[in-house]
Amino acid sequence: MFQPAPKDKSDLPSILLVEDSPTTAVLLSKYLAGTYHLLHAKDGVEAWEMLEGDPEIELVVTDINMPRLTGHQLLVKIRKSDDPRFKNLPVIVMTTTDDNADRNLAFLNGANDFITKPIDEMELLARVNVHHKLAQTIRELEASRRALAEQATTDPLTRLKNRRAFFENGNQHLSMARRYGTDVSLIVADLDFFKRINDSFGHQAGDEALIAIAKVLLQMTRTEDTVARIGGEEFAVLLPDTNRLGAAVLAERIRAAVERDRFSAGGQLLQLTLSIGVASYAVEQVDTVDQLLSIADQRMYLAKKLGRNRICVNNDGKSNFAS
C-alpha cells in the first residue's frame, strides 16, 4: 500500500507551545505532530525571546501559570508590541482551572481562544486549525491590501512613486514645512531628446533609458525623499528639510552622474542627459505643491531652452550650473 512521504518540518506551519510541564509538552507535541512544527518554550520569558527571533511562528499555545513570566504577562507583551507581526498572531490559552475570572482576564489581555486541561486531542486540533486558518486568511488579505496600495502609488515601469503618490507626499511635507518653519525643495528632471531615442532605437530602448534614470535618482537620494515619475520622461524629487542651495547641489550631482555614465538601451551604449529645474518653498512662498511643481517645471523648460544638460534654479537662467 502506498504511504505518502512525511512532510519536512520546514514545510509545516510553526506553533510555539509555552508550557513548563515536560509531560504536557510531550503530550501536545504528539497531538500536533505531522500537521505542525512545534517549538517549545518553558516559560514566558523564553517564549518572548523565541517570538522576537523567529518570524515564522504562526500561532501560540500557552499555559497561564508559569515561572518568570506568566501567560497573562506574555499576552500583554504580544498585544502591546510595536511589531506588526504580532497584530493578528493567534494565541490559545491553557489552564487547569475553570475559574471564569482567569478566563475573562485572558480574553481581556488579547487571547483568541481558551482550552482547559487535561487537553483533549480532538478539541485542541480543532481550535488550532480554526485559528491558524483564520490568521492565514487575515495575513493574505493584508498582503493583498498592501499590494493594491503599492500598485495604486507606483509607476509600473520604473517602480518609482507615481504622480498621485508624489502629490500626497508633497502636500504632507509642505504642510509640515509651513507648520514648523522648515523648508522643502523640489527637483524636476526631464530626459533630453527622449523622442530621438525612441525613434532611433525603439520604445524598448526608451523604456530602458527611463529605468536607468530612475536607478540613478534612487541611488543619489535619501530614504525620506520622494522620487517619482510624473510624466512620460519627466521625474520629480521631493526633498524635505532641504533649502534651495542643498537642492541645487544635489541636482547638479544628478546631472553630472547621468552625463558621465553610459547606459545600455536596445543593445546600444547611450549617453543620456537631463535638463533640471529647482524650486524651494522658502524662496517661492507658494501655497500648494502644484504651484511649486509648476515653478520647477518652468525652470526645467528654461534649462532646455538654454541648451539642455544643465540645471536652472531661478527664472532668468543666470544662476544655473552649466556642463
Return the active site residues.
Answer: 233
Residue with cell 547638479: 252
Closest alpha carbon to 192 in 323, 318, 317: 323
- Which of these, 316, 290, 320, lies nearest to 186 by C-alpha position? 290
- Compute how many other C-beta atoms are within 10 angstroms of the C-beta atom of residue 2: 3
The span from the CA of 310 to the CA of 274, in Å, is 7
- Please say whether the beta carbons of 312 and 239 come within 8 A: no
* CB-neighbour burial class of residue 103 (10 A; exposed 0-12, middle 13-18, buried 19+): middle
End-to-end CA distance of the chain: 79
- In this structure, the strands spanning 14-18 and 37-41 are parallel
